[in-house]
Chain A
């Protein structure tokens, strides 16, 4: 996903002279073609995230469209004050590309795990947050970001994840995509959890239970009406996310349901990471299973909820 994302930025930069790229200290050879063909708009500024965000703000205030890329933890936590004051207040057209969102860097331990990035970034006024389900969707999202106002945080997955999105369903920032029609049960998910949602839906379909799947790729701004209309016929709404149980997609949707779902009662369940620093290493998938947000655990939870309401 990261490679496709960067390649898309490179392709767009060839057509748009206003696009500027800033990296921190990315891997050797990253975007060499950008650097070689457009050296005046490619900057590798070192491990100085606070400076980079303000520098990007200055460039954006001068009319540039700035893509900034580094690891998700560092682009959100390390420079949070710059993100909120410089990007948020200025509404700067800066696109933050956060590598390794969620549990991608499992082998590297909690210092590198962006398990709370959405929670902190969504507190920033004017900040848009996008978490794509696969590389194809990421390409569509990056292209859609041109001419979109204000700063955007893109949480990037590992890459090589299954392609679950479909071009014919389109992509519009802020508009969730229905992957499976909402039904008695509706799963709302984002990022790599969309794939799991689809697998869970397929599992229940075989049992004669319809399970809808919404790909809520834009967590902020949230299309509240779209979500509320989508769950009109649902008795169970479950959110699936590779993020802390505090402040992510589950919190966003539960806030919405608690405040605005007047029309009917729903049983709501968050499937998210517990409020802990992950203590295991291994791999992203191993941690997802360890923290009981993998496919089998989702199925078990849904079975319990279905038994409860029927």
Chain B
């Protein structure tokens, strides 16, 4: 494990890759993916145990991207790590590609569950974490959910159940970018007091300002006791469309179809200008 990860530089690489994929495919959830980039980079650079060439290795940590529409952030990272060839990235949503608009477990090495219908991944992950407990395995299960996704009642069914089973090996990471498709989360279906809700459901709760990914890295590497008897919720304060000033918090970019060539250039230049 490296001592220092250049999350800023890595973030730019992944974001440019996302722009290239959307440019080629002509569609994609840009805003939802951009807010996830740092979360996934922290997980795949500094936290998860995995073997790209043995994706079913039984002792691997499981990661489920429950907000499957954020898959544009996951695919370039999985390709970079060697789960599948990078050439697949440019067949995103193509007829003969393996990378669909939402990730499928059976098609994509490294994808632990088929997600896209919201409110499923947390419970699937809970089942996996329970299996680790039954079989006395040491792997951990990380599930990334969206803030809008936690509108789903099944999220809270899973929270009750995870807490009941004392699953310290289950970590819910919330991409709290404060926007869902229609508008601000606070207006569509307010989640606050969000942290208190997770605490009330029996979780250890951590909050991370994702402007500094090292905070999340520290929580996941040092703060969380994965052997304890409570599941964990990490509320990541992110920015929808993070990394490009005119995309940030702009719902026009939640899902984008057809980028003009000049837009692609403008987006990439904007990524380079970000500090």
Contacts and interface: CB of A to CB of B under 8 A. Distances in A.
Interface in A1-45: 20, 40-41, 43, 45
Interface of B: 104-106, 112-114, 116-117, 119-132, 134, 153-154, 157-158, 160-161, 164
A58 B126 contact: yes
Contacts of B157: 46, 48, 50-51
B114 A54 contact: no
Interface in A42-68: 43, 45-46, 48, 50-64
A86 interface: yes
A178 interface: no
Given A85-B114, A89-B106, A89-B114, A55 B131 contact: no
A90 B134 contact: no
A20 B122 CA distance: 19
B153 A55 contact: no
B127 A61 contact: yes
Nearest to B135: A62
B130 A48 contact: no
Given A55-B127, A59-B130, A85 B158 contact: no
A128 to B, nearest CB: 18
A41 B133 CA distance: 10
B114 A62 contact: no
Contacts of A89: 104-106, 114
Interface of A: 20, 40-41, 43, 45-46, 48, 50-64, 81-82, 85-86, 89-90
In terms of DSSP, what is the predominant structure of the interface of chain A? helix
List the 8 shortest-distance A-B pairs measured between CB atoms, nearest first: A58-B127, A54-B123, A51-B157, A48-B157, A62-B131, A55-B127, A58-B124, A50-B154
Given A62-B128, A89-B106, A55 B113 contact: no
Nearest to A55: B127
A48 B131 contact: no
Nearest to A64: B131
Contact of A85 (B117, B126, B164): B117
A43 B105 CA distance: 26
A41 B134 CA distance: 7
Contacts of B160: 46, 48
Contacts of B153: 50
18 contacts: A51-B154, A54-B121, A54-B126, A54-B154, A55-B161, A56-B127, A57-B124, A57-B127, A58-B127, A59-B128, A60-B127, A61-B113, A64-B131, A81-B117, A82-B120, A85-B114, A85-B116, A86-B124
Contact of A51 (B104, B123, B128, B131): B123
B172 to A, nearest CB: 13
Nearest to A58: B127
B128 A58 contact: yes
A46 B123 CA distance: 14
Contacts of B124: 54-55, 57-58, 61, 86
Nearest to A41: B134
B98 to A, nearest CB: 15
Q: B113, B123, B128 — which one has the most chain A CB atoms within 10 A of its CB?
A: B123
A20 B131 CA distance: 10
Contacts of B119: 50
A51 B201 CA distance: 15
Q: B121, B127, B153, B154 — which one has the most chain A CB atoms within 10 A of its CB?
A: B127
Contacts of A85: 114, 116-117, 120
A30 to B, nearest CB: 18
A86 B131 contact: no
